[in-house]
Chain A
Amino acid sequence: MEPDVSASDAEILEPLRRTTWRFYVLLAGLAAVVGWGVYAYSWQLREGLSVTGLTDRVSWGVYISNFVFFIGISHAGTLISAILRVTRAEWRRPITRMAESITVMAIVVGAGFPLIDLGRPDRLMNVFFYGRLESAILWDFISIFTYLTGSLLYLLLPLIPDLAVVRRSVALGRFRSFLYTRLGGRWTGSAVQKRSLEKSIGLMAVIIIPVAISVHTVVSWIFGMTLRVGWHSAIFGVYFVGGAIFSGIATILIAMAVFRRVYHLEKYITPLHFRNLGALLLVLDLVMIYFTLSEYLTATYGAETRDVAWVRILSTGPYAILFWGMLLGGLVLPAFLLVFRRGIAGIVVAAILVDVAMWMERFLIVVPTMMTPQMAFTWNLYTPTWIEWSITAAAIAGFALLYALFSKLFPIVSIWEIQEQPAPAAEPAATEQEAVA
């Protein structure tokens, strides 16, 4: 049956109908930051990577950390939409769209960083002309492209019925009516179409999970395959995937809080959603504490010279404050918050801490290993420059910008998916039963 646009969906469609001046101010602010980053990058293109703080010894830094961080965040969509769909957790419905869109945008932003880090971006095509499957970078290219394609499909498929709703109920300009017609113009809502849509979404949900796991595993293998201390570790694959899902949940929690407040979606995004995702965040937090402990205990107990040198840099070096901040403020403190402060505010604060800490964790994976001397006996130092920070800020702003634009083009809550849910999400009692069932 074709979903009806009842009055109850008005809140979801409201952002598509009306745009306040505050939104344009936000847009302009974000665009300015992105513009600044583009300016910084043009500087780097002209002068070379010498404008960064990178050196022959610490030859990867903030850019590669950003790459790992953003690709990690992209696991939000996979978790919410695919894993929760496969396990039939019905409460997921109002947040699937938000999560799936995070995935696509985080991949786009994240995949840009290896290119920004490239000494010769003009020769990028060499990867296609001369690509060697033996290199983990090729593995990365392949899995990220696959992941992006899959995630785009996975975002687009559930959008199709909603586009029909939007076309019927929102007055559209030429651009948007063209866009929606191209993306889902042939949707009639017939039983045949519905069945095949359900089938495709179900299939994509199953396909996208191993693809997502492979992506961050392969990202970790870029480091894991080298012979360097702190990288050459079998835990790296699962460590990265765990961290990715961890930061993905944190990001979707922040996005939920923002959209709930700004677009008045309190009816759809309820305390239940925060509690459930908060519980998942806690589980992943404990997993990360466990992984971190395993990794550092294994490295320090045997006290191999090189391992000791690396752990010493981590815990007492120039970035020790990040190390201890990440452990205490980003892993331990959020666990306490998630156990003892289970209101929306407490959970969102924990999520923000987690996201910040996960960026630091990525930085601490990339940089201290390169600071550990391999031949000489002094620490190799690295201080990022304003160019690197500007491009990083631009990436975060660009991510927010894409997200904000997306929320103006498409319903940020999946209308047909919540309509198909038997009980209304607004009643916590009913939904809680749903979640248990």
Chain B
Amino acid sequence: MEGSRRRFIRLAVVGVGAAGITTLFSSKLIEAVGFSRGDVRAAAPARRQWVMLIDLKKCDGCRKCTEACNTEHFVPPGQEWITVYEVQDEFGFRYFLPRPCMHCENAPCLKVCPVGATFRREDGVVLVDHRRCIGCRYCMAACPYDVRAFNWSEPPHTPEELAHTYRPEAPWPHRMGVVEKCMFCAHRAEEGELPACVRGCPMDAIYFGDLREDAVSNGREVLRLSETLRRDHGFRLKEELGTEPRVWYLPARRD
């Protein structure tokens, strides 16, 4: 009896001690468990950190960005890599909200991928390797922005699309049973070109640029990102989730 009680007390002390040590390191733990770096593949120069800025004041909901994107990437029918939502606020004010992939720094999709098919390049672009994806669609369930789309059947092909050699930065020809999404036009960035949606927007509402340089451009003007965000009350979608999106918005109305 005595022995077992002593053993119990010893066990309890060890337990409490372990809990204490854990608490001490908990901030480190949260960082390790909750903030995923995921698979970083050193495929792109890290001196760039690509970001997007979308000015909702300018967007008139014409959906030309979606069209340009679909053409550029031979996006399979039924999919949109940049979707334009129509939003109505509580006072009845209506505006449009284009939504590309947020390329989150703490990407929920990347965290849950069982095979590392979704990965982040050092420049912050989140890509999918369609040669590795097993089609479990866990990333689709995990994405809070409804960004991802799945090839439910074999996508229709064009000779031009088929002639291309697949790589995650230019992910076509498309194939059945894998998950697709906006890839920030990584292939165009290599050529120093702005993304297709930026070029396609007749209102010049979409800006693309580099967080390090603190500069974004819609092809007509160059803005200082931090200053613009501060001045025009820039925000990100679902900031409270802690996903750290790489896409910022300027509100539809100036306060």
A127 contacts across to B, CB distance below 8 A: 114-115, 134
Question: For A119, A141, A222, which residue has the most chain B Cβ atoms within 10 angstroms?
Answer: A119
Contacts of A279 in B (CB 8 A): none
Q: Are A132 and B114 in contact (CB under 8 A)?
A: yes
Chain A residues whose CB sits within 8 angstroms of the CB of B79 once the complex forms = 56
Q: Are B152 and A54 in contact (CB under 8 A)?
A: yes
Per a CB cutoff under 8 Å, which of A52, A60, A123 touches B141?
A60
Residues in A neighbouring B83, C-beta threshold 8 A: 375
Give chain B nearest CB distance to A120 CB in angstroms.
4
In this complex, the interface size class of chain A, counting residues with CB under 8 Å from chain B, is 35 or more
CA distance A123 to B179 in the complex (A): 14
Contact (Cβ within 8 A) A228 B150:
no
Question: Which of A49, A56, A370 has the most chain B CB within a 10 Å cutoff?
Answer: A56
**Partner of B113 from A59, A120, A132 at Cβ < 8 Å:** A132
Q: Establish whether residues A376 and B115, one from each chain, have CB atoms under 8 Å apart when the complex forms.
A: no
Q: Is B176 an interface residue (CB 8 A)?
A: yes
One digit per residue, 1 when the CB lies within 8 angstroms of any chain A CB and 0 when it does not, for chain B 105-146 equals 000100111111100000000000000111111101110111
**Interface: B148 (CB within 8 A):** yes
Within 8 Å by CB of B112, from A56, A117, A225, A376, lies A225
- CB-nearest residue of chain B to A123: B134
Contacts of A48 in B (CB 8 A): 151-154, 176-177
Bound form: Cα–Cα A117–B179 in Å: 14
**Which residues of A49-83 are within 8 A (CB) of B?**
49-50, 52, 54-57, 59-60
The complex places the Cα of A117 from the Cα of B152 at a distance, in Å, of: 11
Whether B152 lies near A222 (C-beta < 8 A) is: no
Given contacts A49-B152, A49-B177, A227-B142, contact A60 B137 (CB under 8 A): yes
Residues of B within 8 A of A129 (CB): 115
CA distance A376 to B111 in the complex (A): 24
A55 to B152, CA, bound (A): 8
Question: Which residues on A are within 8 Å of B, measured CB to CB?
Answer: 47-50, 52, 54-57, 59-60, 114, 117-121, 123-124, 126-127, 129-132, 134-138, 141, 222-223, 225-228, 370, 373-376
A56, B136: Cβ atoms under 8 Å?
no
Closest 10 CB pairs of A and B: A119-B135, A119-B177, A50-B152, A50-B153, A137-B114, A48-B153, A135-B114, A120-B177, A130-B115, A120-B135
Give the complex CA separation of A163 and B71 in angstroms.
68
A285 to chain B, nearest CB (A): 30
Contact of B144 among A47, A134, A223, A227 (CB under 8 A): A227
B85 at the interface (CB under 8 A from A): yes
8 contacts between A and B (CB under 8 A): A56-B79, A126-B117, A127-B115, A136-B112, A138-B114, A227-B108, A227-B142, A375-B83
Beyond A120-B177, A121-B134, 8 additional contacts (C-beta under 8 Å) are A56-B146, A56-B150, A119-B179, A123-B132, A135-B114, A227-B142, A227-B243, A228-B142
